[in-house]
Amino acid sequence: MSSLEDIVEVLLLQNYNTRLVVISTSLLGVASGLVGAFLLLRKRSLMGDALSHATLPGVAIAFAVMVAWGGTGKALPGLLLGATLSGIAGILTMLVIRNTTRLRDDVAMGFVLSVFFGVGIASLQMVQNLPGASAAGLESFIYGKTASMVKSDFLIIASVAAISSLVSIVLVKEFLLLCFDDAYAAAQGWPTLFLDIALLGLVTAVTVIGLQSVGLILVIAFLITPPTAARFWTHRLQPMLVLSAVIGGVSGWLGASISALTPQLPAGAVIVLVAASLFLISMLFAPTRGLFPRFLRQGHLRRKVDRQHFLRAAYELLEEQAGEKEVRNVSFPEATLRDRRTWTPHRFKRILKIARQEDHLEETPAGRLRLSEPGFGEAARVTRNHRLWETYLIEYADIAPSHVDRDADMVEHILGAELVRELERRLDETKISVPVPPSPHPIAGKPEATP
């Protein structure tokens, strides 16, 4: 159990090694969030997974080359250079498969992932037996090992992350155009192939520098999880990019901090778990696309639909009772109203309860119902909007009067004030000027109204 002093020391970054790890993983998270957002929009999220596995042969080959040149083979710049070259080879392989065959992207990614990772595992096993060399620790690139990070490692990670983030920001408009319609971009003269290669180059850079922090197996989560979580919070692209970068940075900072407080937990795994927790929170509670807010909105819409159906059914019943006379707000049998809709008894009771809570019903003897004055006015408004939409569908959408009621039911609940005014204008052209126009289709045996 970490003491308060340890927690304060980690939060304030007082320890030198902790400072290096936390800042570098935070910068990596920001870069991963930005680049991963473009991958998500490009529908190539698994590209990072294939690319990360493709870097493993480069690590083993770079180690062997540096040992052959008389070094220890553990220099991080050399290992990252080998990983970069191997990753580029994986990208080129995917591009060749995609552009020269009819195979889909997922087939190319699956091929590169499995073949290159298999070659990497075999290569790591082979370099273990090199004379005079110790390959111990190379497997840390598979799972990540932030504890061994030094200042030179930090400078490399910070520099590459900053450059990747800057390029992503500078080319944001071009990348967005590429992600949403590359054919249109090509038709407008944009160098789509160059932009595609540039995006894959950024993915390669972020993936390679992420090997030291989270490892090649978990770095894909750093590329996918932040933009996916950000997608729940907004429909707009620029805010999504910002949120993705923030979520990535926060994931790196919190994950590295928690790992520093609990040394038995590897930083890479904790970072991914923190990112997954932020994703779960976004999926459940984000106001734009979260499950709970969406559930509440759907419940509110169902309540609104039930209320409008109830009021319209009540108004139409009052119309039938009034006949050719003016519609007046009088009481009517509860059973007659219930039979006009396919409401179950339980649902009908719930609708009545809501109507009373919203002051749409007056107190009446058992078995009878009467709209309140606000309820009667709202019922007339709801019925009028419904018939405005029916009239429009019959005259301009060529829908039969006997079928228009169901179609109007599906749309009338989302009619805005501007659309209602437009429908009123169209209705005025038909010379109907009564407050509530007659129904344009037969109802309950009544003859069809003629405008």
pLDDT tens digits in sequence order for the chain, 451 residues long:
567 776 777 777 777 778 888 888 899 899 999 999 998 888 877 777 788 888 888 888 888 888 777 766 677 788 888 888 888 888 888 878 888 888 777 788 888 888 888 888 888 778 776 665 555 556 666 666 666 677 887 888 889 899 999 999 999 998 888 888 888 888 888 888 888 888 888 888 888 888 777 777 778 888 889 999 999 999 888 899 999 999 999 998 998 888 888 877 777 788 889 999 999 999 999 988 889 999 998 888 888 888 888 998 899 889 888 887 888 888 988 888 888 888 888 888 999 998 988 889 988 888 899 999 999 998 988 888 777 777 777 766 666 666 556 555 555 555 566 766 776 676 666 554 445 656 665 554 444 443 3
Q: Are strands 332-333 and 368-369 parallel, antiparallel or unpaired?
A: antiparallel
DSSP string of 185-210? HHHTT--HHHHHHHHHHHHHHHHHHH
| Lookup: tokens for 222 | 């750093």
Q: Which among 25, 49, 29, 50 is positioned nearest to 229, based on CA atoms?
A: 29
Q: What is the DSSP string of 11-44?
A: HTT-SHHHHHHHHHHHHHHHHHHHHHHHHHHTT-
* Per-residue pLDDT, 274: 92
Distance separating alpha carbons of residues 396 and 237, to the nearest angstrom: 36
The answer to whether the 4-226 and 294-428 domains have the same CATH topology is no
Two tokens, residue 6: 């340890």
59/141 Cα distance (integer angstroms): 8
**Which residues, other chains included, contact 167 with Cβ-Cβ below 8 Å and sequence gap of 6+?**
198, 202
Domain extents for the chain?
4-226, 294-428
Q: Please state which of the four CATH numbers 1.10.10.10, 1.10.3720.10, 1.10.3260.10, 1.10.3470.10 is assigned to the domain occupying 4-226.
A: 1.10.3470.10
Whether 334 and 369 have beta carbons less than 8 Å apart is answered as: yes
Q: Provide the CATH number for the domain formed by 294-428 in this structure.
A: 1.10.10.10
Dihedral pair phi/psi, residue 145, rounded to 5°: -155, 85
Q: What is the pLDDT of residue 291?
A: 92
| Residue 414 amino acid letter | I
257: left (phi over 0), alpha (psi -120 to 50) or beta: alpha
Closest CA to 212 of 363, 65, 59, 72: 59
Torsion of CA 155, 160, 161, 166, to 10 degrees: 130
Place of tokens 């009619």: 415
Q: How far lies 103's CA from each of 97, 106, 111, 433, in Å?
A: 7, 8, 11, 63
Instruction: Please list the residues that pair with 371 across neighbouring strands.
Output: 361
- Note whether 402 and 442 are within 8 A (CB): yes
DSSP state of 412: G
pTM of this prediction? Answer: 0.76
